[in-house]
Chains A and B, each alone.
Chain A
């Protein structure tokens, strides 16, 4: 992301909104580009995709598998080319291959959520390089656009009240900053169920969002004045006015789970736009049904395309990532013949997202 892009993102948040009018059908279109069926065998397959990344150089797909606790690498034809890590508690192993995988400067970085570690591997030969501990629960890793050795971690750290980790990859040290919305301190249900944080560097600031929050925060690193943007709802479930009180009154887990949409990603788009991915989720027996919505926030002040449905055909919770203006999703379909894992790509076309948003509010977490 260029500085210009970052600046546009930053300026966007100066004029966020509350109580925005519902957006009409989005001006941005979601066009299907292609799909790649992954070649899988009895021993090399993705049982439960936990996260997806696209290698910025090769275009390969990296999928962390929460079932086999490892990261599988597929080329653009769907052929398995490498496996990183394995289940276990030793160096380079995963006790729980987590929600984050990324390719940073020739390395594959994947979270072991079970031990709160970032496992780092050499991209080409899969050799384990190092493990970096982190605090809280991790939702995203983003390379700093200006410093090749810096990566930003989107976290939710209730204990210390941090939402950002700044990882110096030369020293291995992670600095912490940011803040956690007060609702997360007041609601165990919110903190337990919607426990991911997302981060995006934006010029001199850092954008932060949380899985159970409908706002995007602009923070000055490590902690400073905050602008907030409340992302309005068009199709997805709206947050109750007082989410803490609403969750306090509700004891049934499925209803807690479905009470608010879950943020599953915060991504930069070309031309300074910002993409948010929300899931409306509902528990159905041992499974969850989810609707996936994309919201594109325009670089101009206070306009957006809200809640564009992502037309996925899948029997599992999809995992998404974004490169450029392309959204990638890993999906699975299950039938009597077995399971098929697919990576689908969608182009965000058109624009310009002119639905006006309301003025900003200056309140922080």
Chain B
């Protein structure tokens, strides 16, 4: 994405118009949210190791594309981080690609904290928001990129002098105190099967899962892994435009969010190609 002096310009889309549905292809289970705390960063530190008893730390783990497919709570975290410069770390699961880097620069995000392991499972659920105290994770949760709200941020803002309210302090077993991962979706396509395809590009495409859930999942594939020409080749999509248009949905500027209410099921039907179903 480079500047040009001609009439040709480059558009940082935020992939917003690329609304599609991820539905196909990896078998690996996603890494647990709290595991990021102990994974090594490039500089040899860990997120857990950066926190102390006196100085709790908020860490947010992003995949670089999280920051341009949807913007979620990133701006709010940036503002919070501005007021708490030593208490917020943004870490990335991988190095951003050149175009991703341009987008991150536009959003004033410095991807200096990157996890060391080159063999991280590519199927990860991010962003992950964590609160760490003295090397322990006291709160960890996947917050979908399209989410409008961050419970952790809201808690920190509501309790500026008592962050202990925002997570059970150690030594409470992590399993009891950590809310890890998304709520289990009732849908059969995602994310139960980690099969990813970008089914189609236009905005009102999503299986309606249930009331007030973020429904539309945009191409989550790492950029290197898909050929744009393959988009649309993994399934047929039927959209009842009349029904979809009745909904309050976010437009192509915020591709991942399409909100449905009870009874909306069936407005959009995704049929995988047989080859995908066999995977």
Residues of A within 8 A of B91 (CB): none
Given contacts A158-B241, A311-B6, contact A253 B11 (CB under 8 A): no
A144 at the interface (CB under 8 A from B): no
Cross-chain pairs A/B with CB under 8 angstroms, 28 sampled: A42-B82, A42-B108, A43-B79, A48-B14, A48-B107, A67-B75, A87-B75, A96-B251, A113-B250, A192-B19, A192-B252, A193-B201, A251-B200, A251-B232, A252-B233, A257-B17, A285-B99, A286-B12, A287-B103, A288-B11, A292-B7, A309-B7, A310-B7, A313-B9, A316-B10, A316-B12, A317-B10, A333-B3
Q: Among B9, B79, B106, which residue has the most Cβ atoms of chain A within 10 A? A: B9
Query: Looking across the interface, which residue of chain A has its beta carbon closest to that of B232?
Result: A251
Residues of B within 8 A of A228 (CB): none
B75 near A47 with CB under 8 A, answer yes
Query: Looking across the interface, which residue of chain A has its beta carbon closest to that of B230?
Result: A252
Residues of B within 8 A of A284 (CB): 1, 10, 99
A residues 256-315 near B (Cβ < 8 Å) are 256-257, 281, 283-293, 309-315
Chain B contact residues (Cβ within 8 angstroms of A): what range?
A: 35 or more
Measured CA separation A116–B17 after assembly (Å): 18
Chain A contact residues (Cβ within 8 angstroms of B): what range?
A: 35 or more
B245 at the interface (CB under 8 A from A): yes
Measured CA separation A315–B68 after assembly (Å): 14
A69 near B17 with CB under 8 A, answer no
Q: Among A96, A253, A292, which residue has the most Cβ atoms of chain B within 10 A? A: A253
Sample of 17 more A-B contacts, CB < 8 Å, known A191-B202, A286-B99, A315-B2? A47-B107, A48-B71, A87-B148, A89-B148, A158-B242, A193-B201, A252-B230, A256-B202, A281-B11, A283-B13, A283-B228, A286-B103, A290-B8, A316-B11, A316-B12, A317-B13, A339-B106
B251 near A290 with CB under 8 A, answer no
User: Interface on B for A, CB 8 Å cutoff?
Assistant: 1-20, 65, 68, 71, 74-76, 78-79, 82, 97, 99-100, 102-103, 105-108, 148, 198, 200-205, 223, 228-233, 239, 241-242, 245-246, 248, 250-254, 257
